[in-house]
Amino acid sequence: MNMASCQYSDLAASAFNRRDVDALLALVHEDFVYLDGMGIQSGREAMRRRELALVEAFPDAQVILTPFVITEDRLALTGLLSGTFSAPLVLPGRVIAPHGRQISLHYAAHFTFKGRLAIREEAFFDSAALLLPLDQEEA
């Protein structure tokens, strides 16, 4: 079994929770590809921008990652991102306005590894969880 796929979730969660973007980038291949319901991003610099956008939008964010399938070159996990949505979330081609409230965003992700580094992530989450429900909007 690839030790990288075994340790990835612990190392990634620890780095994110410390706001250590460089440590996160050290876990991925230079050609890292990220896909989610909003699009596709390629390369470490795209990952840097995405991670910085998350920690800026959710300055108190914490993540818990729970692996449920680990193989030689694959990792599947569930995650929980929680924090206060206090600054705009700037994504490629879209900005989501903050509502100042605590969120808990559940997601699933599938990783592929090349050697010791993650080369691909497919993330699945409901982006509507970032939006303030209509019945809670302030006048």
Rounded distance, CA 24 to CA 48, Å?
Answer: 9
Q: How far is residue 83's CA from residue 65's CA, in Å, rounded to a whole number?
A: 15
Q: Return the pLDDT at 16.
A: 96
Out of 3.30.420.40, 1.10.12.10, 3.10.450.50, 3.40.470.10, the CATH code matching 3-125 is: 3.10.450.50
Pair 113, 76: CB distance under 8 Å: no
The whole-number mean pLDDT for each consecutive block of 10 residues of the chain, a chain of 139 residues, reads 72 96 96 90 94 95 92 93 94 87 93 94 85 52
pLDDT in tens, 27-60: 999 999 999 887 899 999 999 999 999 999 999 9
Specify the residue for token string 């920690």. 55
Q: Cα separation of 100 and 36, whole Å?
A: 24
The reported pTM is 0.86
Which residues on adjacent β-strands are paired with residue 106?
80
